[in-house]
Amino acid sequence: MARMKFLCDAERCIECNSCVTACKNEHEVPWGINRRRVVTLNDGEPGERSISVACMHCSDAPCMAVCPVDCFYQTSDGIVLHNKDLCIGCGYCFFACPFGAPQYPQSGNFGSRGKMDKCTFCAGGPEEDNSAAEFKKYGRNRIAEGKLPICAEMCSTKALLAGDGDIVSNIYRERIVGRGFGSGAWGWGRAYPAGTSG
Amino acid sequence: MSLRKLFVALFLLAFAFCPLALAQSVRPPDNAVNQSAGERAGVSNTLGSNSQSDYWRNLRGGVRGTVSIPDKNAGVMVQSEGWHWMLVRNGPLKKYGGYALGGVVALLVIFFLLRGSIKVESGLSGVKVLRFGAIARFGHWLNAIAFVALALTGLSLLYGKSVLLPIMGPHAFAALSSGAKFIHNWGAYLFIIGIIWIFLAFVKKNLPAKEDIIWIAKAGGLLTKGVHPPARFFNFGEKFVFWSVVLCGTGVIITGLALLFPFQLDFIPGELPVHKMQFASLWHAILALYLIVVVIGHIYIGTVGIEGSLDGMKTGYVDRNWAREHHSLWLEQLESHSNQKKAAGELAE
Ligand code: SF4
Ligand code: SF4
């Protein structure tokens, strides 16, 4: 079975925010929640890079490990999903997640959290596939329709890749070979800085 | 065409991105490749053709970028602290907290088996002495009820997944947990009132005194029959419980308020709100576990441990012989006071 993964190619992402918009629209994500965001590093400076981030569907997911009601589950494709009927909005998954994926609608006074919401890799939740209940809680289930996540499909530069991890990394590897630079070798940035003989 | 020119032409054809071909057709020609090698990298890649491993590695350290969404903290791509927080919470906190809870219960069982319930040695006199007034008792029980509710709901948040969930099943346990969260979030206010109340009611009587040293040296007489070190209104054991509850309780309240109002109250150290929450939640749990251990001991002593102790908090009155054995100095003072009053009364007559 394929292992679903996201990959954002920082050499391609132009911070157009198509992925963010497509996601919000596809799943009718409520106000105040962004399942996906684009982070720009060194904004406006040489070496600026942008990366689109959402839940990465971690293999050894800290959110799953820490949830006190154990409402997460990982599909056979490696997609990390959760059951909003069980979630108590404790915020622990948000404390634990390295990528800041879990978010909460404010429900009630004193900023108390509602049910956690995060990227589902367009794979819905535990409800029946593509049912109204599933759509209301988790958004569309494109995976069940045989489609890939809308963010990657909408990406204007194909920077954001989503799908079978082997295929995604093959595409990326081809790109890297084509670009033929630095290849991320350790220590080169320090030992042979840009502008020297390389 | 010279051989050299032919070579260059072939080279370009094989490797170079051909803008002419693109201009003529929307579809890339068959020989198109993703991107060309060599020089082009230096042009498109402003970081040069060098390694960027430092650049990317720094992201794990919490480098902040910019985002166009309203939550500017989302600009931090990776917060690796979350992983460590999870490891501490699921690891040592849960483990040693469990040992401490199990340990204190085991110790009390052993203590009970060895020493049994410590009776009033000279028997009950039947004469009652007022120990706690209504205001003091109300504060104590308010605090007690809030504490037990908070402790049980808090423990179920930490241990319920391993203990209750397998028995109850996911849905019943989730319902219990959301009820527990509600009780925990609102019970907090009762506890805050209770802590202030007992502080005001008891602080004077809990200041350290020189008898405490003797009391500690004799282990409060708990271990040996017939030994009753002198004590004033509160002995060192009670003072220990009082200051634990007041000081750690305050710590639990501060961290708890920070967790109740995660983005509004800002008195916890940390760069990002999420770091503050991690810090607050760990200390909240550590202090609370310590308090639960202390209070288990307190409940034991106050109920089965020492006969006649509970009466003071229940009715306000204790037996005179109980007071003489456990709080000799207090009783002396009390009776000399009332003797003085009596004497003064007789004189006035
Ligand atoms: S919510 Fe965070 S920790 Fe959980 S799978 Fe997604 S990225 Fe990983
Ligand atoms: S907020 Fe919900 S999903 Fe996240 S850890 Fe708490 S109960 Fe689990």
In our burial notation (b when 16+ CB lie closer than 10 A, e otherwise), range B25-44 reads: eeeeeeeeeebbeeebbeee
User: In chain A, whose CA is at the least distance from the CA of B155?
Assistant: A68
Which domain covers residue B140, as residue numbers?
119-348
**In Å, how far is A6's CA from the nearest CA of chain B?**
15
Q: Whose CA is nearest to atom 8 of ligand 2?
A: A67
Q: Does A108 touch chain B (CB under 8 A)?
A: no
> What is the sign of the dihedral through the CA atoms of B211, B214, B220 and B225?
negative
The CA A92 to ligand 2 mean position distance, Å, reads 6
Which residues are near ligand 2 (CB < 6 Å)? A 67, 69, 71, 82, 87-93, 102, 116
Cβ-Cβ contacts under 8 Å for B216 (sequence gap 6 or more) = B236
Arithmetic mean of pLDDT over chain A: 89
- The CATH number assigned to the domain holding B284 equals 1.20.950.20
Tokens of B273: 């709100």
Looking at residue B32, what is its pLDDT? Answer: 66
| Position A197 in a domain | no
* Residue B199 clears pLDDT 90, i.e. is over it: yes
What is the DSSP secondary structure assignment for residue B89, as one 8-state letter?
I
| Position A196 in a domain | no
* Residue B339 clears pLDDT 90, i.e. is over it: no
Looking at residue A124, what is its pLDDT? Answer: 94
Tell me how crowded residue B197 is: count the other CB atoms within 10 A of its CB: 17
The number of distinct structural domains making up chain B is: 1
Cβ-Cβ contacts under 8 Å for B142 (sequence gap 6 or more) = B190, B193, B194, B197
- The CATH number assigned to the domain holding A124 equals 3.30.70.20
The number of distinct structural domains making up chain A is: 1
Only one residue has tokens 């622990």, namely A92
> Helix, strand or coil for residue A123?
strand
| Position A193 in a domain | no
Q: Cα–Cα distance between B301 and B298 in angstroms, integer?
A: 5
The verdict on a CB contact (< 8 Å) between B34 and A39 is no
| Position B56 in a domain | no
Q: Cα–Cα distance between A66 and B83 in angstroms, integer?
A: 10
Measured CA distances, A131 to A126, A128, B283 (Å):
10, 6, 43
| Percentage, residues of chain B above pLDDT 70 | 84
| Residue A54 beta carbon below 6 angstroms from any ligand 1 atom | no
Tokens of B345: 């009364």
Q: Ligand nearest A90 Cα, by number?
A: 2
**Residue B19: which pLDDT band, with cuts at 50, 70 and 90?**
very low
Looking at residue B337, what is its pLDDT? Answer: 80
| Position B84 in a domain | no
| Position B264 in a domain | yes
Which domain covers residue A105, as residue numbers?
4-188
Residues in chain B: 349
Tokens of B192: 């805050």
Residue of B39, B46, B50, B94 for testing the chain A interface, max A β-carbons within 10 Å: B50
* Residue A159 clears pLDDT 60, i.e. is over it: yes
pLDDT in tens, B127-154: 899 999 999 999 999 999 999 999 999 9
Question: Which of B80-85's residues contact partners 24+ apart within 8 Å by CB, and which partners?
Answer: B80/A98, B81/B274, B81/B275, B81/B278, B82/A62, B82/A95, B82/A96, B82/A97, B82/A98, B82/B274, B82/B278, B83/A62, B83/A96, B83/A98, B85/A95, B85/A96, B85/B278, B85/B281, B85/B282
| Position B38 in a domain | no
Alpha helices in chain A (DSSP H): 18-27, 62-66, 92-96, 132-138, 150-154, 165-179, 188-191
Looking at residue B6, what is its pLDDT? Answer: 58
> Helix, strand or coil for residue B145?
helix
Q: Which residues pair with A117 in a beta bridge?
A: A103
- What ipTM was estimated for this complex? 0.87
Looking at residue B18, what is its pLDDT? Answer: 41
| Position A52 in a domain | yes
Q: Cα–Cα distance between B280 and B251 in angstroms, integer?
A: 10
* Residue B100 clears pLDDT 90, i.e. is over it: yes
